[in-house]
Amino acid sequence: MAKAKLMDYDKALELFEPVLGFEVHVELSTKTKMFSAAPNNFGSEPNTNITPTCLGLPGSLPVVNEEAVRYSISLGLALDCEIAESSSFARKNYFYPDLAKNYQISQFDEPIAINGNVEVELPNGRVFQIDIERAHMEEDAGKLTHVGGSTGRIQGAEYSLVDYNRAGVPLVEIVTRMIEGAEHDAPELAKAYVATIRDIVLALGISDAKMERGNLRCDANVSLRPRGSDKLGTRTETKNVNSLRSVERAVRYEIQRQAQILADGGTIIQETRHWHEDTGATSAGRPKSDADDYRYFPEPDLLPVVPDPALIEDLRAALPEKPAERRRRLKADWGFTDLEFQDVVNSGLLNEITETVAAGATPQAARKWWTGEIARLANAAEGDAGIDITPAQVAELQQLVNEGTLTDRLARQVLEAVAAGEGSPRKIVETKGLAVVSDDGALIAAIDEALSAQPDVLEKIKDGKVQAAGAVIGAVMKAMQGKADAARVRELVLERAAAL
């Protein structure tokens, strides 16, 4: 695959305005599939979670999973959509062996949810309103493995193997309206949007939302409009984007690629493009079919979904707090500065800090530990299994500091031991004898010894040169193996020097 020429990103933005659109597919975590009672499990042996309906065998009939409808309504409500009074299924006809029926059951002109809105916050604090055109129910397709050829991709494959376990898994496809005005932030917005959808479905508890497993998939539409023009450019739709980071990279790549083609006088072909994680590039897929070519028609085997208004209100009342609302509430509750709070959000530490605060630490203390020492330990452990520190342990550690049992320095040592799996902070303090020496008698003995060892320093202190005390404090801290509160030692040094 020849590598496409890319225009410098800033240059591309000077010449063109990026226009975006997203289609996010969310696999619902119901126990069974959308239209059949086959288990909806990830990672089973191939073709073990299948029924005649999944295989489209003659005589089999689909029946709608009630739970999937409830999940879909909840998602629609969480996206601020109107829930359709009546919604219906349609057949999307195409020939590809990922579905055995030669059609996918989807929704076409009567989706379950329409006209929504999602608030998305970027890492730089910019808040974006993304309009949702529709969210509709459909079934997922089976999984093909291409065999033969060198790449494992379809090109050059000799044959393909089909596993229908995923065929029929309930999906909701969320389609945005055209997004303008993102400008330089377009790639970050793409990532933040998908992350927001992920947070919403996780909060609703309706999907595992693991992108690496395909529970959450994003197709990113990108087109460029020349500055000063009001005519939309031709768009491409990038698929196979399996991580938040890839969403960002793929959008940036498409902006740079399209800008170069347009600047060279070329034209953008309306097509799907495949994102390749390894090369960080997209390659051409099939030309985008017209919707007409799918020959959608009402699914004759299924009846309309007409949700009871009382059910909708019940589901609305049960909605969790929206991610954007939660962030606003936490920021106010915690009293963090914009910068502190953004740092926490960008580090993905909202839950950890919430739980640490719930376990008794102050917000500032919780923030300090998680964004500071714990982040440092986690970075140092990268490549390994990571580190395992719980919010309760952090709260306990801070409690030990507040009690005066640990200094900050000792607390960091204890934290390292916690990360190494040596137990709770309190237990580590006991077994390692890491507590601060708070016995003034022991401190005074060490101070007297240090003062007599450095008579010149003692004289200076007596002369009022209190900054000279540093040398004595250092010696005492060393004698105490760091397990003393330096401020208390300083107090005692000055007291003893005056008394001697």
Partner 1 sequence: MSDISAEQVRHLANLARIDLSDAEIATMTTELGQIMEAVASVQAVATPDVPATSHPIPLKNVYRPDVVADVIPTDKALASAPEHDGSRFKVSAILGEEQ
Residue 159 is a binding residue for partner 1 (CB under 8 A):
yes
Please, which residue, 66 or 430, has the CB nearer to partner 1? 66
Residue 360 is a binding residue for partner 1 (CB under 8 A):
no
Please, which residue, 285 or 360, has the CB nearer to partner 1? 285
213 vs 243: CA distance, rounded Å: 10
Please, which residue, 163 or 254, has the CB nearer to partner 1? 163
Helices (H), 369-485: 375-380, 391-403, 408-419, 425-432, 440-453, 455-462, 469-479
Work out whether strand 281-287 and strand 103-106 pair parallel, antiparallel, or are unpaired. unpaired
For the bound state, the minimum distance from the C-beta of residue 41 to partner 1, rounded and expressed in Å, comes to: 9
DSSP type of residue 335 = T
467 vs 85: CA distance, rounded Å: 78
Q: How many residues bind partner 1 (CB under 8 A)?
A: 62
282 vs 3: CA distance, rounded Å: 9
The contacts of residue 486 (CB under 8 Å, 6+ apart) are 407, 473, 477
Residues 251-280 that bind partner 1 (CB under 8 A): 272, 274
Work out whether strand 113-121 and strand 82-83 pair parallel, antiparallel, or are unpaired. antiparallel
Residue 214 is a binding residue for partner 1 (CB under 8 A):
no
Which segment (243-251, 293-301, 418-426, 463-471) binds partner 1 by CB under 8 A?
293-301
For the bound state, the minimum distance from the C-beta of residue 60 to partner 1, rounded and expressed in Å, comes to: 10
For the bound state, the minimum distance from the C-beta of residue 323 to partner 1, rounded and expressed in Å, comes to: 26
Site string for partner 1, 64-103 (x = CB under 8 A): xxxxxx----------------x-x---xxxxxxx-----
Which segment (3-11, 61-69, 201-209, 422-430) binds partner 1 by CB under 8 A?
61-69
Could you tell me the CA-to-CA distances from 446 to 194, 265, 439, 443, 482 in Å, in that order? 60, 81, 11, 5, 13
For the bound state, the minimum distance from the C-beta of residue 176 to partner 1, rounded and expressed in Å, comes to: 19
Residue 393 is a binding residue for partner 1 (CB under 8 A):
no
Nearest to 14 by CA among 262, 220, 239, 231: 262
Q: Counting every residue, how long is the chain? A: 500
Residue 15 is a binding residue for partner 1 (CB under 8 A):
no
Residue 158 is a binding residue for partner 1 (CB under 8 A):
yes
Could you tell me the CA-to-CA distances from 159 to 154, 283, 285, 311 in Å, in that order? 9, 21, 19, 47
| Cβ–Cβ < 8 Å for 459, 472 | no
88 vs 305: CA distance, rounded Å: 6
Residue 31 is a binding residue for partner 1 (CB under 8 A):
yes
Residue 39 is a binding residue for partner 1 (CB under 8 A):
yes
Which segment (38-46, 319-327, 414-422, 424-432) binds partner 1 by CB under 8 A?
38-46
Please, which residue, 146 or 490, has the CB nearer to partner 1? 146
Which segment (26-34, 248-256, 319-327, 415-423) binds partner 1 by CB under 8 A?
26-34
Phi, psi of 353 (to 5 degrees): -70, -40
Binding residues for partner 1, rule: CB under 8 A, are 30-32, 37-39, 45-52, 55, 63-69, 86, 88, 92-98, 104, 141, 144-146, 148, 154, 157-164, 239, 272, 274, 285-286, 293, 295, 298-300, 302-307
